[in-house]
Amino acid sequence: MELLKQRIEKDGNVRMPNIVKVDSFLNHQIDVDLLDEIGAEFYRRFKDKGITKIVTIEASGIAIACSAARYFKVPVVFAKKHENKTMDDDVYQVTIHSFTKGKDYEAKISKRYLDSSDTVLIIDDFLANGEAAKGLTAMVEMSGAEIAGIGIVIEKGFQNGGKTLREMGICVESLAVIENIKEDKVVFKK
């Protein structure tokens, strides 16, 4: 997606050693016009797959998933990371290793919102080692729902998440794929 790549080049920052910060338009402040284009692009790529639900993980995935969901006209279900008293007891639950925080956390989705009648598009902001996407995939599989694919805004192609997920037979569509980072500049896959 050319518009997205241009924006990453213009406003993205590289943090040592391989973290890309896009806080000025995606992860903290959000450019809603760009977000709308991202949602439309996911729709273009997955519109024929019979999607009934979009699944993501809090927090950064939520806005992106909602933008796509407006095109698909389906609900968004986001996995919760934080304990809270209002969460249902009956949940699909996995342990995910956080790439950016370097520690494990529990992610949960209420069984009320996902079942075997669903066809799911999983969406997230970044794909690095694939731990978040694999965790979401596992929860969707627990529900018996079908996984139509995974939509990623920025894939870091020099980490192994994309390869692992594609080898699992999952259709992974990334809107921008960073091949490598040279002297703090991102180099996109052609």
Name the site residues for ligand 5GP (rule: CB under 6 A): 19-21, 27, 60, 99-100, 124-133, 156, 161
Shortest CB 84 distance to ligand 5GP, Å? 20
* C-alpha to C-alpha distances, 1 to 43, 51, 90, 95, 188, nearest whole angstrom: 13, 22, 39, 32, 11
- Map residue 77 onto helix, strand or coil: strand
Nearer to ligand 5GP, 27 or 93 (CB): 27
Structure tokens at 140: 């969707």
Shortest CB 161 distance to ligand 5GP, Å? 4
Contact between 70 and 117 (Cβ < 8 Å):
no
Nearer to ligand 5GP, 112 or 185 (CB): 185
Nearer to ligand 5GP, 157 or 161 (CB): 161
Nearer to ligand 5GP, 88 or 100 (CB): 100
Beta partners for 151? 123, 173
Structure tokens at 130: 């694939």
Shortest CB 140 distance to ligand 5GP, Å? 15
